[in-house]
Amino acid sequence: MKYIGINQRIPYSVLDESLREFLYTGEIKRGEILEKMLQVTAGENRARKATMYVNHILSRPKKFLLFIEKSISAAGYEKLSEGDRKAVILCLVVNTFPIAYDLLCAIATVFKVQECASRAFINQKMSALYGSNRTIAVAIDALMPMLIELGALERVKTGVYRVGSQPIIIHPAVAELYVATDIALSGSKSIALDETNYRSWFFFNRVELPKGVSFKLLKMTDGMVGGGYVGLG
């Protein structure tokens, strides 16, 4: 069975504050994170579980966290637009819990042909990937409100969703992180540059990689189609 690993929602405000603190100090202050979670989560057990997930997000995707520290920095993170900060956190969440990436890509296939996606159809798509059981249903329950807070989705009404505002990522390093995340989690060795116009992951945040920049996560190669290719460095 594919790894799921999450069954408790983590609010964006907690992730944002915790990442900022981590970038400044290099430490994951679980006690402070727990205090924040107790203010927004009903029940100590749920708060402790969510705190554990925050710890995973700030420790497991080491390559990407190191990139954020060096290429964005703590002070730089504070200056990012809200859309870029949410894109950074979304990348960390999906790299820690790839089910979130699979969930967004599954939903994107629906949005490409119609405006809204129903929870029933989302459940069906995810059950095909992960199996039909209570664990996957609980994981989707945890992830959907997180994806809404991170701007990827909007809730139209109970059980019906549409795509979020699809912001353009502004900061070059955030754009690089976003592209690298798709390549890593899709299992692709490389993608054509023009694929960022239609691959499912790029349905939620629009990206244009800057030209003439020395990348740290990515490497570019020339090609006859789509202006070249980009892969993980």
Query: What gap in Å lies between CA 28 and CA 25, rounded to an integer?
Result: 8
What is the layout of strands, in order, in the sheet containing 218-221? Answer: 190-192, 229-232, 218-221
pLDDT in tens, 194-223: 999 999 999 999 999 887 778 999 999 886
pLDDT score for 105: 98
E strands, the chain, in order: 116-118, 153-157, 160-163, 190-192, 218-221, 229-232
pLDDT in tens, 177-187: 999 999 999 99
Locate 92 and state its tokens.
């960390």
pTM of the prediction?
Answer: 0.96
Instruction: Return the CATH architecture of domain 99-163.
Output: Orthogonal Bundle (1.10)
DSSP category for residue 5:
-
Query: What gap in Å lies between CA 5 and CA 123, rounded to an integer?
Result: 17
Q: Three-state DSSP class for 200?
A: helix
pLDDT score for 224: 61
Instruction: Spell out the domain ranges in the chain.
Output: 12-95, 99-163, 172-232
pLDDT score for 71: 97
Give whole-number Cα distances, 64 to 25, 49, 94, 96, in Å: 17, 23, 11, 10
pLDDT in tens, 138-176: 999 999 999 999 999 999 999 999 999 999 999 999 999
DSSP 116-162: EEEHHHHHHHHHHHH-SSHHHHHHHHHHHHHHHHTTSEEEEETTEEE
pLDDT score for 226: 55
227: pLDDT strictly greater than 80: no
- When the pLDDT of each residue in the chain is averaged and rounded to a whole number, the result is 95
The angle at the Cα of 172, spanning 166 to 178, to the nearest 5 degrees, equals: 50
pLDDT in tens, 24-78: 999 999 999 999 999 999 899 999 999 999 999 999 999 999 999 999 999 999 9
